[in-house]
Amino acid sequence: MKINNFLELRDFQKIIIEKEAIELNETVLQRVEASFQFLKDFSKNKVIYGVNTGFGPMAQFKINDDDTHQLQYNLIRSHSSGIGNPLPEDEVKAAMLARLNTLSLGNSGVHISVVNLLKELINRNITPLIFEHGGVGASGDLVQLAHLALVLIGEGEVFYKGERKSTKEVFAVEGLEPIHVEIREGLALMNGTSVMSGIGAVNAYKANQLTDISIKLSCAINEIVLAYDDHLSAALNGTKRHAGQQKIAEKMRNHLSDSKLVRKREEHLYTHFEEQDKVFKDKVQEYYSIRCVPQILGPVLDTLEFTEKVLEDEINSANDNPIINVEDQHVYHGGNFHGDYISLEMDKLKIVVTKLTMLAERQLNYLLNAKINEILPPFVNLGKLGFNFGMQGVQFTATSTTAESQMLSNSMYVHSIPNNNDNQDIVSMGTNAAVICRKVIENAFEVLSIEAITIVQAIEYLGYQDKVSSATKALYDDIRKIIPAFSEDMIMYPYLEEVKKYFKNM
């Protein structure tokens, strides 16, 4: 794939998930070179932040010409101060791609060696060691991006062929040379929102997976309980002007199009009934976790689509400081590195993923509670009641995991803490927001995995294998390849992990 003008999130998926190699369009290389040469000439005899000044609250200090290159190295090394768990390799690769893309816009004044080396690291699956904890997301992801810059200057550590190794050792094996620090390569690499955006791009991809899985499981439950289909109708959902709700309802109708289990209200409750029937045997309406899926998942889908738009806008924007404008022949100082856009979207995304998880937990409870579903044994226990336990044990896991996501859904966006001698007096906490969002997404996969196993056990008990829709039957068959029908109690955690892997690779 050629990097040129605009990267869509689908392009991220091709490069990060499908490992498609990238090339730099000649236009990109010319643009980067023109930006570098302009800054080199323009910065002579002028005060430009981060070129011949200190950083942050020390910007008032003029740096001697002989020290400007060392200044960049000092910045990178001093800010390589992250701690905690290393970021997963797919998120780091996404962050590198986001940084490469914004530097390719020609607004950063970097030496061409920067974009070339970033391209090589991505294509060769050399992943810099970047930690979860560090940046506050105001001058961008300063600490996390410092770890990326550290690798680009040939220092620090990387993950390479499954092992954590020194950058120097891996560069020697691969025949790679560190970048040339010429003017502001350290600051240009570190000032930006690329880590929060990269994590955000991976989060959005996984949230899309979760939404599709939730739709499939919700459809299957509608089949299990022989639900009436009018709550999914275009006529009903069309009376609400929310695109997400209408899309979810349409997806569910398509999924259930050949089901032999969902019913038409007009064929049952709208037919003749005896006057003495004061209490109806059939439910007139299903519980909300079954009947209101379009209204619950609709906001999830709408939020996700807006988040994707914000991510694409950010990834394709110049988000460092200062901004080099070759066309205007000017250098503009400002705050494009501030991460509020991404921070807010990660908060919103984790909230809707938590709601999706809560929906799954309630649907699970409905299946497990024989008193409310009235069609299944307690805990969908296919063994001997009182002696065997069915899905009783895993419900505790689903409940506790959902509760954790509810707690994690408190906003990070509003938790600004001034720092940097109060130079950064209001910050975004964008990378923290993205990391916590990722945790909520991981939790959702776990709860949906438990729900899926319960659903196939319910289909087994009711003997509905040949009556469910073809889409549900395909899901049933896939889950059954992982975990067989069981009546005797089994150790469940290996199966939960395998179903989770299956969902993440769908």
**First and final C-alpha spacing in the chain:** 23
Helix (H) or strand (E) holding 84: strand 83-86
Residue 460 and residue 169 in contact, taking contact as beta carbons nearer than 8 Å: no
* d(C-alpha 413, C-alpha 144), whole Å: 18
* Structure-block tokens of residue 399: 């409940």
Which residues partner with 53 through β-bridges?
Answer: 62
Task: Determine the Cα–Cα distance for residues 185 and 188; give it in Å rounded to an integer.
Answer: 5
Q: DSSP letter at 197? A: H
Structure tokens at 467: 């009556």
Q: Assess contact for 190 and 142: CB atoms under 8 A.
A: yes
Amino acid at the residue 367: L
Residues for the chain: how many in total? 506
DSSP 16: I
Q: Which of 49, 332, 464, 493 is catalytic?
A: 49
57 prior amide bond cis, ω within 30: no
49 is catalytic: yes
Of the candidates 240, 224, 377, the one whose C-alpha atom is nearest the C-alpha of residue 290 is: 224
Known catalytic residues are: 49
